[in-house]
Amino acid sequence: MKFIVSSTLLLKQLQAIGGVINSSNTLPILDNFLFELDKDGLTISASDLETTMTAKVVVAKAEKTGSIAIPAKILLDTLKTFSDIPITFTIEPKTTYAIEISAGEGKYKLTGHNADEFPKTPTLESSSSVEIGSEVLAKAINKSLFATGNDELRPVMSGVFCQLSPENITFVATDAHKLVRYRRADAKSNEVSSFILPKKPLTLLKNLLLYDESKIKIEYNTTNAFFAFSNFNLICRLIDGKYPNYDAVIPTNNPNKLIIERIPFLNSIKRVSIFSNQSTHQVRFKISGKELTLSAEDLDFANEAKERLTCQYEGEDMEIGFNSKFILEMLNNIDSDEVCLEMSAPNRAGLLIPVNNENKKEDLLMLVMPVMLNT
């Protein structure tokens, strides 16, 4: 088994799929990339059993087909040191698993592993499929992923809930303190279905989709989801369980509406929150007339801060407390110049919504639970 490939091209593809590999694996074979050479070219895979990712790599020249597992760390570390040069792999894939890499004047030898030990990529039976533009999917992941939870006792909330219908596609994420619902009317499915995607494969997809402009084909059944785009494939196991009824927690009657410029609002909260209690991150919102006063204090260190901002406000004067970390995350994931904060009472959830969103097909709603104010 022998092939010649560009070092830069190979490194780029390995780095793209290398994020699948865990730093500590229960099975030693998972510390390897699987290389498979056939008449169609070179296919490289990485897996952690839950998620498997493959990349097709164009080779300049190939002799004899075969497959072998190559240690990931030593291969990546070696490739990072090369400038863009052609490198030759000469591999004995059956008995000794010897690998020789020739690059310029250098020769490097290492030992691979039997490709048969590498876990087989699952196949999807009785699956459905949908096509989504890469920009739509990338945006949906970006806007929702930060709101997922980390509670191991509630695994369904550690992923992103996807709802497909003939009207739209909806992505939901929540950790019980904050919630994001991202809906696109320009992405649709022929049938109604839903599933929960884990965080890790979505993070891997997010990084790759930024540079991709193709359509993404998503196939799914009750246990797995498969994504195909450009020269990459990703298959992941879905999170099993019933997602909470998120519609029930979104308040519909919010008579108090605050409209404010996003960037000044964001910067003001950033500054004031520096002086807040570092365990609660509480910032007090006092709204009166056309004025919003943000304040925070840390009694343990006698720190306090206060800032006034002008805003548009409809409703009764009120004081409400929020965790500044959650508000900042949300404001960083909204693109519009202005945002609207809708509220009903100091002990009820507030809704953060973009104002005059340029994309009329996009519907973004963020919910944040208040925190109890110190009197």
pLDDT at position 373 is 83
Chain centre to alpha carbon of residue 364: 17
In the numeric block, the tokens 């959650």 are attached to 326
* Amino acid of residue 189: S
The Cα 54–Cα 44 span in angstroms is: 5
Split at pLDDT 50, 70, 90, the class of 185 is: very high
Mean of all residue pLDDT scores within the chain: 94
pLDDT tens profile 20-51: 999 999 899 999 999 999 988 999 999 999 99
Angle formed at CA 137 by CA 162 and CA 177, multiple of 5 degrees: 50
pLDDT tens profile 91-131: 998 899 999 999 989 999 999 999 999 999 988 998 999 99
Residues 202, 215, single domain; the answer is yes
The Cα 19–Cα 366 span in angstroms is: 29
Split at pLDDT 50, 70, 90, the class of 375 is: low
Q: What percent of the chain has pLDDT over 90?
A: 87
Residues 237, 257, single domain; the answer is no
The Cα 186–Cα 49 span in angstroms is: 34
pLDDT at position 4 is 96
pLDDT tens profile 132-161: 999 999 999 999 999 999 988 899 999 999
Average pLDDT over residues 208-218: 83
pLDDT at position 14 is 97
Residues 151, 63, single domain; the answer is no
pLDDT at position 210 is 73
Residues 254, 367, single domain; the answer is yes
- Look up residue 125 and give its DSSP letter: -
Reduced 3-state DSSP string for 83-108: CCCEEEEEECCCCCCEEEEEECCEEE
The Cα 277–Cα 296 span in angstroms is: 8
123 in any annotated domain: no
What's 296's domain CATH number?
3.10.150.10
C-beta atoms surrounding 81 within 10 Å: 10
Residues 100, 133, single domain; the answer is no
The Cα 18–Cα 232 span in angstroms is: 12
69 in any annotated domain: yes
155 in any annotated domain: yes
Pairing of strands 362-368, 178-184: antiparallel
Split at pLDDT 50, 70, 90, the class of 305 is: very high
What is the pTM assigned to this prediction?
Answer: 0.93
Average pLDDT over residues 284-302: 95
List the domain range (segments joined by +) for residue 175.
128-247
